[in-house]
Amino acid sequence: MVSNTLSQLQQIGTGTAFIVFPLIFVFAFSAHPRLFRPRLLRPDEIMSRARGRKWLQLGHALVLLNTALLVAASLHFMRILGPGRGAWAGFVGAILAVSGAIFLAADKGALCLTMSALDTIPGSDYAAMIPGLRAIFAKKGWMKLLWGIMLLPAGFAVQTVGLLQAHALPRGEIILFLIGVLFVGTPDGLEIVNLSASVLMAVAMVPYGIRLIAAAF
């Protein structure tokens, strides 16, 4: 009885993760300014855009929390793919996606939570910190490790290939999710692309999450 209850709660939690994580991405990317004036941004422009924008900071904080849901989603895909035809994709994809989620958390901590703290500093003091911030946002030194964030979409892309091979989910949902994960890592300044990709992921995964929750009862 206890094991059945735990299994039910796990399925409800997993279903909730599939509903929530794409919606958080939709909110976070929609909070970016100048969505409809896309262009690649230099480090200084990224810094100035982040300063004093509370909704943007909230979106970044939610994405930081979202990494736990991404790990849950990736592990779920690994479970439903193995053992079986797509087991290799489930395992390899999970390693990549979980690693990428760790780098995503590091990225939001280093670049986004930092900027929210600096919002409390007067402009004159903030100006003196700009050279250091410029090095951070240009990913100097060990900050280059943050490029590991690209492992996240790569891992989910590998898993979606396995899902297609194994016919584990409806083909339309898998394809929409694959397109979404391939474009959700678009560079800063082109958030309209990230937002569109997040909407595709939501269209694909929210119904799946609802089905998981419904099947738990």
Both tokens assigned to 88: 């290799």
Q: How many domains does the chain have?
A: 1
Q: Which structural domain, as residue segments, surrounds residue 14?
A: 2-215
Both tokens assigned to 101: 């989620």
72, 145, 62: which is closest to 103 by C-alpha? 145
Measure the CA–CA gap between 197 and 21, rounded to whole angstroms: 13
Measure the CA–CA gap between 120 and 151, rounded to whole angstroms: 33
pLDDT of amino acid 2: 61
190, 103, 188, 193: which is closest to 150 by C-alpha? 103
Both tokens assigned to 124: 């004159």
Those residues with Cβ within 8 angstroms of residue 40's Cβ, 6 or more apart along the chain or in another chain: 187, 188, 189, 190
| Per-residue tens of pLDDT for the chain, all 217 residues | 666 888 899 999 999 999 999 999 999 999 999 899 989 888 888 888 888 889 999 999 999 999 999 999 999 999 999 887 779 999 999 999 999 999 999 999 888 888 888 888 888 888 888 898 899 888 999 999 999 999 999 999 999 999 999 888 999 999 999 999 999 989 888 999 999 999 999 999 999 999 999 998 8
Helices (H) and strands (E) in the chain, counts: 9, 0
pLDDT of amino acid 168: 87
Both tokens assigned to 16: 């909730």
